[in-house]
Chain A
Amino acid sequence: MFLVFMALMTLYGQKIQLMIWISEIERRLRKLEKMALESKDKLAETASSFGREKKGVLKDIESFTKYFIISPVDLDPAGVLKRLEYLLDMGKSKLEEYTSILAPKAKDSELDNFENMLLACVALDYIYRVVRHFLILGKKTQSTLIIMQIHMQLPQIMEIAQSYFKALEAFSKGLPIGDGIGALVAFKLGNGGIYKEIVRDTIVYERELFGRKLYIIKAKGPGGTVGKPGEAVKKIVNRERNRLKRVIIVDAAGKLEGEPTGEIAEGVGAAIGDPGPEKYKIEESIRKYNIPIDAVIIKESLVEAITIMKKEIALSADKVIRKIQDIIKSRTMEGDRVLVIGVGNTIGVGQ
Protein backbone atom coordinates (compact mmCIF):
# COMPACT_ATOMS: atom_id res chain seq x y z
CA MET A 1 0.00 0.00 0.00
CA PHE A 2 2.81 2.33 0.98
CA LEU A 3 4.88 1.44 -2.08
CA VAL A 4 1.91 2.01 -4.35
CA PHE A 5 1.47 5.42 -2.81
CA MET A 6 5.15 6.29 -3.32
CA ALA A 7 5.07 5.09 -6.92
CA LEU A 8 1.96 7.10 -7.61
CA MET A 9 3.46 10.22 -6.12
CA THR A 10 6.73 10.01 -8.04
CA LEU A 11 5.12 9.16 -11.35
CA TYR A 12 2.07 11.38 -11.23
CA GLY A 13 3.01 13.93 -8.59
CA GLN A 14 3.29 16.76 -11.06
CA LYS A 15 0.01 15.90 -12.74
CA ILE A 16 -1.70 15.89 -9.36
CA GLN A 17 -0.10 19.22 -8.48
CA LEU A 18 -1.32 20.65 -11.76
CA MET A 19 -4.82 19.42 -11.05
CA ILE A 20 -4.79 21.05 -7.62
CA TRP A 21 -3.60 24.33 -9.13
CA ILE A 22 -6.23 24.22 -11.85
CA SER A 23 -9.02 23.56 -9.38
CA GLU A 24 -7.84 26.45 -7.22
CA ILE A 25 -7.72 28.79 -10.19
CA GLU A 26 -11.20 27.63 -11.20
CA ARG A 27 -12.52 28.35 -7.73
CA ARG A 28 -11.14 31.88 -7.81
CA LEU A 29 -12.26 32.39 -11.37
CA ARG A 30 -15.82 31.64 -10.24
CA LYS A 31 -15.36 34.28 -7.60
CA LEU A 32 -14.09 36.76 -10.20
CA GLU A 33 -17.04 35.96 -12.44
CA LYS A 34 -19.41 36.53 -9.55
CA MET A 35 -17.79 39.87 -8.83
CA ALA A 36 -17.99 40.92 -12.49
CA LEU A 37 -21.65 39.94 -12.70
CA GLU A 38 -22.56 41.56 -9.40
CA SER A 39 -20.83 44.77 -10.40
CA LYS A 40 -22.86 44.89 -13.59
CA ASP A 41 -26.01 44.26 -11.58
CA LYS A 42 -25.13 47.12 -9.28
CA LEU A 43 -24.50 49.36 -12.27
CA ALA A 44 -27.83 48.36 -13.78
CA GLU A 45 -29.57 49.09 -10.50
CA THR A 46 -28.02 52.54 -10.35
CA ALA A 47 -28.92 53.11 -14.00
CA SER A 48 -32.52 52.20 -13.27
CA SER A 49 -32.62 54.87 -10.58
CA PHE A 50 -31.53 57.36 -13.25
CA GLY A 51 -34.40 56.61 -15.59
CA ARG A 52 -33.46 53.45 -17.46
CA GLU A 53 -35.40 50.21 -17.48
CA LYS A 54 -33.42 47.37 -16.01
CA LYS A 55 -34.07 44.98 -18.88
CA GLY A 56 -32.41 46.77 -21.74
CA VAL A 57 -29.71 48.29 -19.61
CA LEU A 58 -27.88 45.02 -18.87
CA LYS A 59 -27.44 44.40 -22.56
CA ASP A 60 -25.94 47.88 -23.03
CA ILE A 61 -23.65 47.41 -20.03
CA GLU A 62 -22.47 44.10 -21.44
CA SER A 63 -21.30 45.80 -24.62
CA PHE A 64 -19.89 48.90 -22.88
CA THR A 65 -17.70 46.86 -20.52
CA LYS A 66 -15.67 45.71 -23.52
CA TYR A 67 -14.50 49.34 -23.76
CA PHE A 68 -10.83 49.93 -24.51
CA ILE A 69 -8.33 52.58 -25.61
CA ILE A 70 -5.46 51.69 -27.90
CA SER A 71 -2.31 53.51 -26.86
CA PRO A 72 -0.61 55.54 -29.59
CA VAL A 73 2.38 54.20 -31.50
CA ASP A 74 5.67 55.22 -29.87
CA LEU A 75 8.07 54.06 -32.57
CA ASP A 76 8.05 57.66 -33.73
CA PRO A 77 8.03 59.46 -30.38
CA ALA A 78 7.61 62.97 -31.73
CA GLY A 79 4.32 64.35 -30.48
CA VAL A 80 3.31 61.09 -28.85
CA LEU A 81 1.99 62.92 -25.77
CA LYS A 82 -0.25 65.11 -27.89
CA ARG A 83 -1.64 62.05 -29.62
CA LEU A 84 -2.05 60.29 -26.27
CA GLU A 85 -3.92 63.23 -24.84
CA TYR A 86 -6.14 63.36 -27.89
CA LEU A 87 -6.94 59.66 -27.55
CA LEU A 88 -7.60 60.00 -23.81
CA ASP A 89 -9.96 62.90 -24.49
CA MET A 90 -11.72 60.81 -27.11
CA GLY A 91 -11.95 57.96 -24.64
CA LYS A 92 -13.42 60.29 -22.06
CA SER A 93 -16.04 61.63 -24.43
CA LYS A 94 -16.94 58.09 -25.46
CA LEU A 95 -17.42 57.18 -21.81
CA GLU A 96 -19.58 60.25 -21.36
CA GLU A 97 -21.67 59.15 -24.31
CA TYR A 98 -22.10 55.72 -22.68
CA THR A 99 -23.02 57.16 -19.31
CA SER A 100 -25.58 59.51 -20.83
CA ILE A 101 -27.15 56.49 -22.55
CA LEU A 102 -27.13 54.44 -19.36
CA ALA A 103 -28.17 57.19 -16.97
CA PRO A 104 -30.12 59.80 -18.95
CA LYS A 105 -31.54 61.54 -15.89
CA ALA A 106 -28.35 61.83 -13.84
CA LYS A 107 -27.04 65.26 -12.87
CA ASP A 108 -23.43 66.46 -13.31
CA SER A 109 -21.77 64.99 -10.24
CA GLU A 110 -23.91 61.84 -10.39
CA LEU A 111 -22.85 61.39 -14.00
CA ASP A 112 -19.19 61.59 -12.98
CA ASN A 113 -19.70 59.03 -10.24
CA PHE A 114 -21.58 56.77 -12.63
CA GLU A 115 -18.70 57.00 -15.07
CA ASN A 116 -16.32 55.85 -12.33
CA MET A 117 -18.63 52.93 -11.58
CA LEU A 118 -18.66 51.97 -15.23
CA LEU A 119 -14.85 52.06 -15.30
CA ALA A 120 -14.66 49.78 -12.25
CA CYS A 121 -16.99 47.36 -14.04
CA VAL A 122 -14.76 47.50 -17.11
CA ALA A 123 -11.73 46.67 -14.95
CA LEU A 124 -13.47 43.75 -13.20
CA ASP A 125 -14.71 42.35 -16.49
CA TYR A 126 -11.25 42.62 -17.99
CA ILE A 127 -9.57 40.88 -15.04
CA TYR A 128 -12.08 38.06 -15.27
CA ARG A 129 -11.52 37.62 -18.99
CA VAL A 130 -7.72 37.63 -18.69
CA VAL A 131 -7.64 35.03 -15.90
CA ARG A 132 -10.10 32.87 -17.83
CA HIS A 133 -7.93 33.19 -20.94
CA PHE A 134 -4.83 31.89 -19.16
CA LEU A 135 -6.74 29.10 -17.43
CA ILE A 136 -8.20 27.82 -20.69
CA LEU A 137 -4.88 28.23 -22.46
CA GLY A 138 -3.08 26.33 -19.72
CA LYS A 139 -5.63 23.54 -19.73
CA LYS A 140 -5.53 23.26 -23.49
CA THR A 141 -1.75 23.04 -23.69
CA GLN A 142 -1.34 21.24 -20.35
CA SER A 143 1.44 23.73 -19.70
CA THR A 144 2.68 23.73 -16.11
CA LEU A 145 4.34 27.06 -16.78
CA ILE A 146 1.15 28.93 -17.69
CA ILE A 147 -0.89 27.36 -14.90
CA MET A 148 1.83 27.96 -12.32
CA GLN A 149 2.26 31.58 -13.38
CA ILE A 150 -1.42 32.44 -13.11
CA HIS A 151 -1.73 30.51 -9.86
CA MET A 152 1.15 32.41 -8.31
CA GLN A 153 -0.14 35.80 -9.39
CA LEU A 154 -3.72 35.13 -8.36
CA PRO A 155 -3.47 36.45 -4.79
CA GLN A 156 -2.46 39.89 -6.09
CA ILE A 157 -4.99 39.74 -8.90
CA MET A 158 -7.72 38.87 -6.42
CA GLU A 159 -6.71 41.76 -4.22
CA ILE A 160 -6.94 44.20 -7.11
CA ALA A 161 -10.29 42.78 -8.20
CA GLN A 162 -11.58 42.99 -4.64
CA SER A 163 -10.57 46.62 -4.38
CA TYR A 164 -12.33 47.50 -7.63
CA PHE A 165 -15.38 45.72 -6.33
CA LYS A 166 -15.23 47.64 -3.07
CA ALA A 167 -14.65 50.86 -5.01
CA LEU A 168 -18.09 50.45 -6.56
CA GLU A 169 -19.66 51.19 -3.19
CA ALA A 170 -17.67 54.39 -2.81
CA PHE A 171 -18.51 55.48 -6.36
CA SER A 172 -22.21 54.71 -6.08
CA LYS A 173 -22.60 56.63 -2.84
CA GLY A 174 -20.24 59.45 -3.78
CA LEU A 175 -17.84 58.74 -0.92
CA PRO A 176 -14.31 60.19 -0.91
CA ILE A 177 -11.60 57.66 -1.81
CA GLY A 178 -7.96 57.44 -0.73
CA ASP A 179 -6.76 58.95 -4.00
CA GLY A 180 -8.77 62.07 -3.17
CA ILE A 181 -6.44 63.18 -0.38
CA GLY A 182 -4.75 65.70 -2.69
CA ALA A 183 -8.12 67.22 -3.53
CA LEU A 184 -9.07 67.24 0.15
CA VAL A 185 -5.89 69.12 1.06
CA ALA A 186 -6.58 71.66 -1.69
CA PHE A 187 -10.15 72.07 -0.43
CA LYS A 188 -9.01 72.64 3.14
CA LEU A 189 -6.30 75.05 2.06
CA GLY A 190 -8.80 76.90 -0.14
CA ASN A 191 -10.89 77.31 3.01
CA GLY A 192 -14.19 77.93 1.25
CA GLY A 193 -12.79 80.99 -0.52
CA ILE A 194 -13.64 82.30 -3.95
CA TYR A 195 -12.83 80.06 -6.90
CA LYS A 196 -13.42 79.85 -10.62
CA GLU A 197 -13.44 77.06 -13.16
CA ILE A 198 -10.25 77.69 -15.08
CA VAL A 199 -10.37 74.57 -17.29
CA ARG A 200 -13.19 72.10 -17.68
CA ASP A 201 -13.75 70.19 -14.39
CA THR A 202 -10.84 72.01 -12.76
CA ILE A 203 -11.07 74.96 -10.40
CA VAL A 204 -8.59 77.39 -8.90
CA TYR A 205 -8.92 79.19 -5.57
CA GLU A 206 -7.28 82.54 -4.95
CA ARG A 207 -6.44 83.59 -1.40
CA GLU A 208 -3.90 85.33 0.81
CA LEU A 209 -1.78 83.42 3.31
CA PHE A 210 1.07 84.90 5.41
CA GLY A 211 1.16 87.84 3.01
CA ARG A 212 1.67 85.61 -0.04
CA LYS A 213 -0.84 85.20 -2.82
CA LEU A 214 -1.91 81.58 -3.19
CA TYR A 215 -3.40 79.86 -6.22
CA ILE A 216 -4.82 76.46 -5.35
CA ILE A 217 -5.84 74.00 -8.07
CA LYS A 218 -8.15 71.05 -7.60
CA ALA A 219 -10.64 69.04 -9.65
CA LYS A 220 -14.23 70.24 -9.47
CA GLY A 221 -16.23 68.19 -6.98
CA PRO A 222 -18.12 66.51 -5.56
CA GLY A 223 -18.44 64.28 -8.64
CA GLY A 224 -15.74 61.71 -9.32
CA THR A 225 -13.25 63.37 -11.64
CA VAL A 226 -9.54 64.20 -11.70
CA GLY A 227 -9.94 67.27 -13.89
CA LYS A 228 -7.05 68.61 -15.95
CA PRO A 229 -4.52 69.95 -13.44
CA GLY A 230 -1.74 70.10 -16.04
CA GLU A 231 -3.77 72.30 -18.34
CA ALA A 232 -4.69 74.55 -15.39
CA VAL A 233 -1.03 74.86 -14.34
CA LYS A 234 -0.05 75.72 -17.90
CA LYS A 235 -2.65 78.49 -18.01
CA ILE A 236 -1.67 80.01 -14.68
CA VAL A 237 2.08 79.78 -15.28
CA ASN A 238 1.76 81.34 -18.73
CA ARG A 239 -0.20 84.20 -17.17
CA GLU A 240 1.94 84.74 -14.07
CA ARG A 241 5.34 83.89 -15.59
CA ASN A 242 8.21 84.87 -13.28
CA ARG A 243 5.93 86.34 -10.66
CA LEU A 244 5.23 82.77 -9.57
CA LYS A 245 7.97 81.86 -7.09
CA ARG A 246 7.12 78.34 -6.09
CA VAL A 247 4.93 75.37 -7.03
CA ILE A 248 3.82 72.82 -4.43
CA ILE A 249 2.15 69.63 -5.64
CA VAL A 250 0.26 67.25 -3.35
CA ASP A 251 -0.77 63.72 -4.31
CA ALA A 252 -1.36 60.25 -2.96
CA ALA A 253 1.45 57.85 -3.84
CA GLY A 254 1.93 54.11 -3.67
CA LYS A 255 3.42 52.88 -0.42
CA LEU A 256 5.78 49.98 0.01
CA GLU A 257 4.57 47.10 2.14
CA GLY A 258 5.53 47.82 5.73
CA GLU A 259 5.24 51.58 5.44
CA PRO A 260 2.38 53.04 7.48
CA THR A 261 -0.67 54.32 5.62
CA GLY A 262 -0.97 58.10 5.67
CA GLU A 263 2.76 58.73 6.07
CA ILE A 264 3.90 61.98 4.50
CA ALA A 265 7.05 62.37 2.45
CA GLU A 266 8.56 65.35 0.70
CA GLY A 267 10.54 65.46 -2.51
CA VAL A 268 10.93 67.16 -5.84
CA GLY A 269 9.05 66.66 -9.09
CA ALA A 270 5.60 66.55 -10.59
CA ALA A 271 3.84 64.13 -8.26
CA ILE A 272 0.95 63.11 -10.47
CA GLY A 273 -0.03 59.62 -11.58
CA ASP A 274 -1.65 60.31 -14.93
CA PRO A 275 -0.76 58.50 -18.17
CA GLY A 276 1.58 61.34 -19.17
CA PRO A 277 0.04 64.44 -20.77
CA GLU A 278 -0.83 66.30 -17.54
CA LYS A 279 2.53 65.51 -15.96
CA TYR A 280 4.31 66.71 -19.07
CA LYS A 281 2.41 70.00 -19.05
CA ILE A 282 3.37 70.67 -15.44
CA GLU A 283 7.05 69.86 -15.98
CA GLU A 284 7.24 71.84 -19.20
CA SER A 285 5.53 74.93 -17.72
CA ILE A 286 7.73 75.18 -14.63
CA ARG A 287 10.89 74.46 -16.60
CA LYS A 288 10.11 77.30 -18.99
CA TYR A 289 10.27 79.87 -16.16
CA ASN A 290 12.62 78.00 -13.81
CA ILE A 291 10.08 77.75 -11.01
CA PRO A 292 11.13 75.44 -8.17
CA ILE A 293 8.72 72.61 -7.36
CA ASP A 294 8.08 70.78 -4.09
CA ALA A 295 6.23 67.48 -4.03
CA VAL A 296 4.38 66.31 -0.92
CA ILE A 297 3.05 62.77 -1.10
CA ILE A 298 0.77 60.79 1.18
CA LYS A 299 1.54 57.07 1.21
CA GLU A 300 -1.20 54.53 0.63
CA SER A 301 -1.63 51.18 -1.09
CA LEU A 302 -3.38 50.71 -4.42
CA VAL A 303 -6.34 49.15 -2.64
CA GLU A 304 -6.58 52.08 -0.25
CA ALA A 305 -6.34 54.53 -3.14
CA ILE A 306 -9.53 53.37 -4.86
CA THR A 307 -11.64 52.45 -1.83
CA ILE A 308 -13.34 54.63 0.80
CA MET A 309 -10.86 57.00 2.42
CA LYS A 310 -9.43 55.49 5.58
CA LYS A 311 -9.18 57.42 8.81
CA GLU A 312 -5.38 57.52 8.75
CA ILE A 313 -5.43 59.08 5.29
CA ALA A 314 -8.18 61.58 6.11
CA LEU A 315 -6.40 62.71 9.27
CA SER A 316 -3.12 63.23 7.41
CA ALA A 317 -4.72 66.18 5.55
CA ASP A 318 -4.07 68.59 8.42
CA LYS A 319 -0.46 67.46 8.70
CA VAL A 320 0.03 68.03 4.98
CA ILE A 321 -1.41 71.54 5.31
CA ARG A 322 1.01 72.30 8.14
CA LYS A 323 3.84 71.06 5.93
CA ILE A 324 2.71 73.28 3.06
CA GLN A 325 2.52 76.26 5.43
CA ASP A 326 6.07 75.53 6.57
CA ILE A 327 7.27 75.38 3.00
CA ILE A 328 5.53 78.65 2.15
CA LYS A 329 6.92 80.39 5.24
CA SER A 330 10.49 79.17 4.88
CA ARG A 331 11.02 79.13 1.12
CA THR A 332 9.05 82.12 -0.15
CA MET A 333 8.91 85.78 0.79
CA GLU A 334 6.03 88.13 1.48
CA GLY A 335 4.38 89.36 -1.68
CA ASP A 336 5.36 86.22 -3.60
CA ARG A 337 2.87 84.22 -5.57
CA VAL A 338 2.67 80.49 -4.88
CA LEU A 339 0.82 77.75 -6.75
CA VAL A 340 -0.50 74.70 -4.87
CA ILE A 341 -1.85 71.72 -6.81
CA GLY A 342 -4.04 69.09 -5.13
CA VAL A 343 -3.97 66.09 -7.45
CA GLY A 344 -6.47 63.25 -7.32
CA ASN A 345 -10.03 62.09 -7.80
CA THR A 346 -12.23 64.58 -6.03
CA ILE A 347 -15.21 62.28 -5.50
CA GLY A 348 -17.05 63.25 -2.31
CA VAL A 349 -15.04 66.45 -1.91
CA GLY A 350 -16.75 69.70 -2.83
CA GLN A 351 -15.37 73.23 -2.96
Chain B
Amino acid sequence: MALDNEKVMKISIRLVSLSFTLILTFLLLSYILLFLPSSLKAENRTYSFQTILMMILASSTALLLFKQMKNVLIPRKAEEKILSILKCNNCDYSETVEFKKGFFIGKKVKECPKCKGDVTVDLIYLETPKRSKEASKPQT
Protein backbone atom coordinates (compact mmCIF):
# COMPACT_ATOMS: atom_id res chain seq x y z
CA MET B 1 0.00 0.00 0.00
CA ALA B 2 2.58 2.52 1.14
CA LEU B 3 4.88 1.81 -1.78
CA ASP B 4 2.06 2.20 -4.25
CA ASN B 5 1.08 5.52 -2.79
CA GLU B 6 4.62 6.82 -3.02
CA LYS B 7 4.85 5.80 -6.66
CA VAL B 8 1.56 7.44 -7.48
CA MET B 9 2.67 10.58 -5.65
CA LYS B 10 5.91 10.82 -7.62
CA ILE B 11 4.25 10.28 -10.97
CA SER B 12 1.52 12.77 -10.22
CA ILE B 13 3.98 15.43 -9.09
CA ARG B 14 5.82 15.05 -12.39
CA LEU B 15 2.56 15.21 -14.33
CA VAL B 16 1.35 18.28 -12.48
CA SER B 17 4.57 20.18 -13.04
CA LEU B 18 4.50 19.19 -16.71
CA SER B 19 0.93 20.37 -17.17
CA PHE B 20 1.72 23.53 -15.26
CA THR B 21 4.57 24.46 -17.60
CA LEU B 22 2.37 23.58 -20.56
CA ILE B 23 -0.37 25.90 -19.34
CA LEU B 24 2.14 28.65 -18.68
CA THR B 25 3.65 28.46 -22.15
CA PHE B 26 0.17 28.39 -23.63
CA LEU B 27 -0.71 31.53 -21.69
CA LEU B 28 2.48 33.34 -22.73
CA LEU B 29 1.98 32.39 -26.34
CA SER B 30 -1.59 33.62 -26.35
CA TYR B 31 -0.54 36.92 -24.76
CA ILE B 32 2.14 37.45 -27.37
CA LEU B 33 -0.21 36.56 -30.17
CA LEU B 34 -2.86 38.88 -28.80
CA PHE B 35 -0.49 41.77 -28.16
CA LEU B 36 1.29 41.63 -31.49
CA PRO B 37 -1.60 42.81 -33.69
CA SER B 38 -2.83 45.32 -31.13
CA SER B 39 0.59 46.96 -30.88
CA LEU B 40 0.75 47.14 -34.65
CA LYS B 41 -2.61 48.86 -34.85
CA ALA B 42 -2.42 50.80 -31.61
CA GLU B 43 -4.88 53.45 -32.86
CA ASN B 44 -7.74 50.93 -32.86
CA ARG B 45 -9.23 51.37 -29.37
CA THR B 46 -12.12 48.91 -29.52
CA TYR B 47 -9.74 46.23 -30.64
CA SER B 48 -7.52 46.74 -27.60
CA PHE B 49 -10.56 46.47 -25.30
CA GLN B 50 -11.38 43.20 -26.97
CA THR B 51 -7.79 42.06 -26.46
CA ILE B 52 -7.94 42.72 -22.75
CA LEU B 53 -11.21 40.83 -22.49
CA MET B 54 -9.75 37.92 -24.39
CA MET B 55 -6.73 37.96 -22.09
CA ILE B 56 -8.92 37.78 -19.01
CA LEU B 57 -10.85 34.93 -20.57
CA ALA B 58 -7.68 33.08 -21.48
CA SER B 59 -6.18 33.41 -18.02
CA SER B 60 -9.33 32.34 -16.28
CA THR B 61 -9.58 29.30 -18.55
CA ALA B 62 -5.98 28.45 -17.73
CA LEU B 63 -6.67 28.80 -14.01
CA LEU B 64 -9.74 26.61 -14.24
CA LEU B 65 -7.80 24.01 -16.17
CA PHE B 66 -5.05 24.03 -13.61
CA LYS B 67 -7.51 23.62 -10.76
CA GLN B 68 -9.09 20.65 -12.49
CA MET B 69 -5.66 19.12 -13.11
CA LYS B 70 -4.79 19.50 -9.45
CA ASN B 71 -8.03 17.80 -8.44
CA VAL B 72 -7.39 14.86 -10.68
CA LEU B 73 -3.68 14.36 -10.26
CA ILE B 74 -2.74 15.09 -6.67
CA PRO B 75 -3.75 12.10 -4.59
CA ARG B 76 -5.62 13.25 -1.51
CA LYS B 77 -5.03 10.18 0.54
CA ALA B 78 -1.88 10.48 2.56
CA GLU B 79 -0.55 7.38 4.26
CA GLU B 80 -2.94 6.48 7.02
CA LYS B 81 -2.10 3.83 9.55
CA ILE B 82 -4.30 1.84 11.87
CA LEU B 83 -2.40 1.40 15.12
CA SER B 84 -3.09 -0.57 18.27
CA ILE B 85 -1.67 0.19 21.68
CA LEU B 86 -1.03 -2.93 23.73
CA LYS B 87 -0.78 -2.61 27.50
CA CYS B 88 -0.02 -4.93 30.37
CA ASN B 89 -2.69 -5.08 33.08
CA ASN B 90 -0.15 -5.53 35.89
CA CYS B 91 2.88 -3.37 35.10
CA ASP B 92 3.67 -0.35 32.95
CA TYR B 93 4.65 -2.37 29.88
CA SER B 94 3.11 -1.04 26.66
CA GLU B 95 3.85 -1.09 22.96
CA THR B 96 2.32 0.27 19.76
CA VAL B 97 1.84 -2.16 16.89
CA GLU B 98 -0.06 -2.15 13.61
CA PHE B 99 -3.62 -3.42 13.74
CA LYS B 100 -4.09 -7.11 12.96
CA LYS B 101 -7.36 -8.72 11.94
CA GLY B 102 -9.16 -10.11 14.95
CA PHE B 103 -7.94 -7.42 17.33
CA PHE B 104 -10.49 -5.63 19.44
CA ILE B 105 -10.19 -3.36 22.45
CA GLY B 106 -10.02 -5.51 25.57
CA LYS B 107 -8.74 -8.62 23.77
CA LYS B 108 -5.98 -10.55 25.52
CA VAL B 109 -3.16 -10.71 23.00
CA LYS B 110 -0.17 -12.25 24.71
CA GLU B 111 1.83 -12.71 27.89
CA CYS B 112 3.77 -9.77 29.25
CA PRO B 113 7.52 -10.18 28.65
CA LYS B 114 8.23 -8.35 31.91
CA CYS B 115 5.90 -9.83 34.49
CA LYS B 116 4.01 -12.66 32.70
CA GLY B 117 0.73 -10.82 33.19
CA ASP B 118 -1.96 -10.40 30.52
CA VAL B 119 -1.28 -7.94 27.71
CA THR B 120 -4.52 -6.60 26.23
CA VAL B 121 -5.39 -4.22 23.40
CA ASP B 122 -5.87 -0.82 25.04
CA LEU B 123 -6.69 1.37 22.05
CA ILE B 124 -7.18 1.06 18.31
CA TYR B 125 -7.10 4.23 16.26
CA LEU B 126 -6.41 5.77 12.88
CA GLU B 127 -3.24 7.81 12.65
CA THR B 128 -3.33 10.49 9.97
CA PRO B 129 -0.26 12.61 9.19
CA LYS B 130 -0.73 16.23 10.27
CA ARG B 131 0.27 17.84 6.97
CA SER B 132 -2.60 16.27 5.02
CA LYS B 133 -5.28 18.87 5.49
CA GLU B 134 -6.34 18.07 1.92
CA ALA B 135 -6.94 14.49 2.92
CA SER B 136 -9.93 15.35 5.03
CA LYS B 137 -11.62 17.00 2.08
CA PRO B 138 -14.12 14.89 0.20
CA GLN B 139 -13.03 13.50 -3.13
CA THR B 140 -15.43 14.73 -5.73
Chain A residues at the B interface, C-beta cutoff of 8 Å: 2, 28, 31, 154-155, 158-159, 162, 173-176, 184, 187, 192, 221-222, 307-311, 313-315, 317, 348-351
Contacts and interface: CB of A to CB of B under 8 A. Distances in A.
B interface bracket (residues with beta carbon within 8 Å of A): 20 to 34
Nearest to B99: A175
A192 B138 contact: no
A350 B105 CA distance: 6
B131 interface: no
Contact of A187 (B53, B105, B128): B105
Given A154-B140, A173-B101, A187-B105, A348 B124 contact: yes
B21 interface: no
B57 to A, nearest CB: 9
A101 to B, nearest CB: 24
A221 B125 contact: no
Given A158-B138, A159-B138, A310 B126 contact: yes
12 contacts: A154-B140, A174-B102, A176-B104, A176-B124, A192-B89, A221-B105, A222-B106, A310-B125, A310-B126, A315-B125, A348-B103, A348-B104
B56 interface: no
Nearest to B85: A314
6 shortest interchain CB distances as A-B pairs: A350-B106, A222-B104, A314-B125, A159-B138, A308-B126, A349-B105
A110 to B, nearest CB: 11
B60 interface: no
Contacts of A309: 124-126
A2 B126 contact: no
Contacts of A173: 99, 101
B5 to A, nearest CB: 16
Contacts of A311: 125-128
B89 A175 contact: no
A351 B125 contact: no
Given A158-B138, A175-B82, A184-B105, 8 more contacts: A159-B138, A162-B138, A176-B125, A192-B106, A221-B104, A222-B106, A311-B126, A311-B128
A221 B104 CA distance: 9
A314 B120 CA distance: 16
A309 B83 CA distance: 10
Contacts of A222: 104-107
A162 B139 contact: yes
A28 B82 contact: no
Contact of A350 (B53, B104, B138): B104
A351 B121 CA distance: 11
Given A154-B140, A159-B138, A350-B104, A310 B128 contact: yes
Contact of A155 (B102, B104, B126, B138): B138
Given A192-B89, A311-B126, A311-B127, A176 B105 contact: yes
Nearest to B50: A2
B123 interface: yes
Nearest to A162: B138
B106 A221 contact: yes
Contacts of A155: 138, 140
Contacts of A310: 125-126, 128
A221 B121 CA distance: 14
